[in-house]
Amino acid sequence: MPDLAGWLRAGLAMLCVVAAIGESFVVQALPWALGVVLLELLATGRDSRGRLAVLVTETGVVVAAVLSTFPDHRSLLPLLLVPAFRAGELHGVRAGLLTSGVLALAPLTAWLNAPNPEDVSVGLQWSALALAIAVLGAWGSGFERDRHSGAAAAREAGELLGRLQDLAKELPAGFDVPAVSEMLVDEVLRAAPAHRAAVLVRIGPDEMSPVVVRGVDRVPWRDPVTAPGTAHRAWIGARTVKDVRRADVEGRRRGSAMLVVPVADRDDEVLGLLVLERLAPRQFSIEEVASVERAVAVAAPRLHAALAFVELRIMSEVAERERLAREMHDGVAQDLVAVGFGLDMVQRQLKARDPEMASQVQEVRGQLNHTLRDIRYSIAALRTSVRPERGLGAALSSAAQALGPATGASVSFSLKESPFRLPAHVESALLRLAQDFFADVRSAGTVSRVHVVLETDAPTARLELGHDGPHAWAPDPAFATALADLGGSVAHRQVDGVWTSTLSVGTTFGERPSTPDGAAESTGTNLVTEVSP
């Protein structure tokens, strides 16, 4: 069956029959009108080539109808609109303009046979209307395609998410990046024994994160993205690289063997690296390299899916937080600002006539200012999140800067980061714990000094949160559980009236991650800032 536009074109064709009644021309007009309606019905469900053939045929029929009846009869001139509308809707503006130009030749040619100024005017009017209808059809078609493309994309997304849910149940580790990486390392170490192993994944434009590290408590190699070396060659060349350093040569890796295999998706884009190292100059054999490459090839699609799932989840969380922040800023915050302006006006008017009442209004204004500060801090907290392009250090720095104005406390922030970023789930967990600490500081109301210290040496981290409030911070049980699931711990102490809570991930509290023999020292970021209210 024709769509709405098809029925509209058929209606235009039958309108000619109604117009022909006034000219006593119904019998002659009816076959032409029915011919156009039949072509509209024949075009239903055809492909683009079939629709183009119908358009050409319909244009020829309309030109023949106008040439054979105009200017003696004008009732068939509305037929000019039908192919013009069809051309614009189905084939675009250019096809609509071309078809309208061809159609305009019909009344012009007919008029040349019997020139009459009035006929010229009528023919030009209908030709111009056909041109306008063609443009309108093209515009409406574009709007409809956009609408349907959005709906189709939503349906496809729903189907994909449903399929994704089914696949997650079938995969051994689901879409958990650490679990998939742990399984890969276990299989690889069985095929090619090594003293140290790690899976490094790309977490930002130029940043890597160690998802799994074995045989050492920190990443002992240079950053493969920026620092030259074996891992860098594998990253840049997207190929397996191995080398051996004899014990009698100089360098941090003397007396060791290393194998680096890139983990790539189906488009050969490198997602990360699998790194193996032996603390002896015994090269990885051809058979071992082949086994490792096979294991990586099998695990790569699962790791790709897991990373994509994490990115999708982060995108949805960020979008929701941005939406809430925007609604709070444009809604309740703006309304309270307007109320504050009104209170200021009332207070100024009462100042001379009723000072006591003006003082009470001023107190209400102070309470309103405090509420506005809380709302602005909540908006800032919603907009503070860990993203691929924004790590934990940047997120905590923004949160610390917003805490001072919100509480009136003096806030100091110290940051020391290694070249490698923490895994995304670790960064998110530590940020949630820090935000819970900041909420506790705000609710205390008596805190004058706050200090935050973050040291990361991926995959280990130490986050120190301190304040001079009356009691120690007790983390939300859900956040504390998340920290425990990461193998982390939290310890509290009080020195000179300052409560300090230290969160450790990947290492025991108080124990600084050691530098393995022959490893590169951390060359990360050091930042100390003071934030005053």
Q: What angle do CA 490, 496, 499 make, to 5 degrees?
A: 25
pLDDT-derived band of residue 211, with 50, 70 and 90 as boundaries?
Answer: confident
The pLDDT score that the predictor gives to residue 168 is 58
Which range of 281-285, 357-361, 456-460, 505-509 scores highest in mean pLDDT? It is: 281-285
Say which residue, 96 or 269, is predicted with more confidence.
269
The pLDDT score that the predictor gives to residue 528 is 47
What would the mean pLDDT of 89-112 be, rounded to a whole number? 73
H/E stretch holding 365: helix 355-382
The pLDDT score that the predictor gives to residue 306 is 81
The pLDDT score that the predictor gives to residue 155 is 67
Q: Residue 519: helix, strand or coil by DSSP? A: coil
Say which residue, 386 or 13, is predicted with more confidence.
13
Taking 90 as the threshold, does the pLDDT of residue 290 lie above it?
A: yes
pLDDT-derived band of residue 271, with 50, 70 and 90 as boundaries?
Answer: confident
pLDDT-derived band of residue 525, with 50, 70 and 90 as boundaries?
Answer: very low
Taking 70 as the threshold, does the pLDDT of residue 141 lie above it?
A: no
Side by side, the strands of the sheet bearing 256-264 are 207-214, 196-204, 270-278, 256-264, 241-245
Per the document, the length of the chain is 533
Mean pLDDT of the chain: 76
Taking 80 as the threshold, does the pLDDT of residue 260 lie above it?
A: yes
Least reliable range by pLDDT among 124-128, 176-180, 295-299:
124-128
Using CA atoms in the order 393, 395, 397, 400, what is the torsion angle rounded to 10 degrees? Answer: -130
pLDDT-derived band of residue 261, with 50, 70 and 90 as boundaries?
Answer: very high
pLDDT-derived band of residue 274, with 50, 70 and 90 as boundaries?
Answer: very high
pLDDT-derived band of residue 399, with 50, 70 and 90 as boundaries?
Answer: confident
Say which residue, 22 or 505, is predicted with more confidence.
505
The pLDDT score that the predictor gives to residue 240 is 92
Taking 80 as the threshold, does the pLDDT of residue 199 lie above it?
A: yes
The pLDDT score that the predictor gives to residue 277 is 92
CB 83 within 8 A of CB 55: yes
